[in-house]
Amino acid sequence: MPVVSHPVTSIGPRDVPSPLGLSTGEDAEGPRYVPDDAFVLRTIEGRASSPLGVEALEKAGPRERIHFTPSRVRAAILTAGGLCPGINNVIRALVLELVYRYGVREVLGLPLGFAGLGPSARPPIALGPDEVRHIHTRGGTILGTSRGAQPVAGMVDALIARGVDVLFTIGGDGTLRGAHAIAAEIAERGAKIAVVAIPKTIDNDIPHVDKTFGFETAVSMARAAIDAAHTEATSALGGVGLVKTMGRDAGFIASLASVDVNVCLVPEVGFELHGPHGLLAHIERRLETRGHAVIVVAEGCGAILAGADPVRDPSGNMAYGADAVDIGRHLKSAIEKHLDGRRLPHSVKYIDPSYMIRGVAAGAIDSIFCADLARAAVHAAMAGKTDVMIGRLHRAFTHVPLPLALAERKRIDPRGELWLSVMESTGQPRLSTR
């Protein structure tokens, strides 16, 4: 069976023995180094009628021989984009793995994202085990964050001037684009700096990974909001509970938090407000037959109602300013106006837990996942891997070349199993005449 793999760029030979002291060979006892030819299949499903041939990603993990001499390494970490549960967990695990397991000489924290490499950058923060000892119990990021790009040449100048050998970036698709641009500029100059990205997006919309850190915590928090909306709806005459979740381009949080929901709206599936097959008519029928309704809507659905190209923020993500539709408030107003016009008693309660979700500390499962991602990132960087993202696919950690990660965005397939499960759970019809 032919395997189509995606090669990962390396900045140079690996001729330094790893200090980890793991086992080698298939029959060795205890944890082992990952061989260079190990891979993870992109898909584990197929059809007998399809031509043979599979796509694969390089498996992540510690290598027996590495590129850098650890005692000479200066590493740097930055966090960019929006907040997400687990960022501090990743920072902490990066520092502990670099210092305790590899014995690197220095770890720097770059303040406020890529601005930490810009012309008005604040001084780097020295990071050691003492500085990160308790940060995993807190939400947010101790390094601060920002959106927007900096001149790439200037950022590489700053890395070289500070003697950085390894750069770790923690952020979403905008941060991945920045990391790739930095890696390309480094390669153009022939410099020897490894750039390794750890994907951070609460929306879980990064391709070639089964989940991103913070996502499970976000779903749990969204479920709490939905439970509150359900209580409000079932306790009132004509009760409608409306919850807006995060999800600019993908509705994974809304979909997976929709167990006790009657209508789930996501950016990937079009819907109409008005008409006999529209949302408002469905809510009216629902109240007449069951007496209450609970609706969860992803924030990106505002673009569906706007009917125009969405406004983008400095990171390239969909923005929700004065020119955009705030889908939660818009739906609340539309539902109330429709039910008023039908002279139906109603009580609409709107809950937007977005910033509560972003700012909380990571839950137990996410905390473990963050640490695993960070350790895989350190192994990749010390081996000289660059222009690469650490992911997890089929419960195995992988090296995803950044150009591949940036080539598409993961979204819900309206014809796939996830959306089918949502339709079966909610019982909602197609809310469109199209």
Per-residue pLDDT, 51: 62
**Does residue 112 sit in the same domain as residue 204?**
yes
Active site residues: 203
Residues 337 and 377 placed together within one structural domain of the fold: no
Say if residue 10 is in the same domain as residue 150.
yes
Q: How much is the pLDDT for 155?
A: 97
403 assigned to some structural domain: no
pLDDT tens-place values along the chain, 434 residues long: 566 678 899 999 999 999 999 988 777 777 899 998 999 988 877 766 666 567 899 999 999 999 999 999 999 999 999 999 999 999 999 999 999 999 999 999 999 999 999 998 999 999 999 999 999 999 999 999 998 889 999 999 999 999 999 999 999 999 999 999 999 999 999 999 999 999 998 899 999 999 999 999 999 999 999 999 999 999 999 999 999 999 989 999 999 887 789 999 999 999 999 999 999 999 999 999 999 999 999 999 987 776 545 555 554 555 544 346 789 999 999 999 999 999 999 999 999 998 888 899 999 999 999 999 999 999 999 999 999 999 999 999 999 999 999 999 999 999 999 999 999 999 999 887 55
Q: 407 in a domain, yes or no?
A: no
Query: What CATH number has the domain bearing residue 333?
Result: 3.40.50.460
Q: Is residue 333 part of a domain?
A: yes
What is the pLDDT, as a whole number, of residue 323?
A: 46
In the chain, % helix, strand, coil (3-state, to 5) comes to 35, 20, 45
CA-to-CA distance for 146 and 155, rounded, in angstroms?
A: 15
- CA–CA gap between residue 104 and residue 120 (Å, rounded): 28
CATH at residue 172: 3.40.50.450
| 87-102: b (≥16 Cβ within 10 Å) or e | bbbbbbbbbbbbbebb
Taking Cα atoms as reference points, which of 249, 231, 253 lies closest to residue 240? 231
Q: Tell me if 432 is assigned to some domain.
A: no
In this structure, the answer to whether residues 204 and 276 fall within a common structural domain is no
Tell whether 291 is covered by a domain: yes
Assess if residue 132 is contained within a domain: yes
Q: Are residues 142 and 27 in the same domain?
A: yes
What pLDDT is stored for residue 313 in this prediction?
53
How many independent structural domains does the chain possess? 2
Question: Which is nearest to 100 in space by CA: 402, 374, 316?
Answer: 374
Q: Is residue 236 part of a domain?
A: yes
Which residue segment(s) compose the domain that 42 sits in?
3-212+363-393
Whether residues 307 and 250 share a domain: the answer is: yes
Examine the domain organization and report whether 208 and 244 are in the same domain: no
**Together in a domain, 356 and 374:** no
The region that residue 21 occupies, defined by phi over 0 for left and psi between -120 and 50 for alpha, beta otherwise, is left
Q: How far apart are CA 229 and CA 226, in angstroms?
A: 5
**108 with 229, same domain?**
no
Counting every residue, how long is the chain? Answer: 434
Statement to judge: residues 121 and 79 lie in one domain: yes
Q: Are residues 14 and 160 in the same domain?
A: yes
pLDDT score recorded for residue 303: 79
| Strands 347-351 and 239-245, sheet pairing | parallel
- The answer to the question of residue 78 being in a domain is yes
> Does residue 172 sit in the same domain as residue 123?
yes
Question: Which residues lie across from 385 on neighbouring strands?
Answer: 10
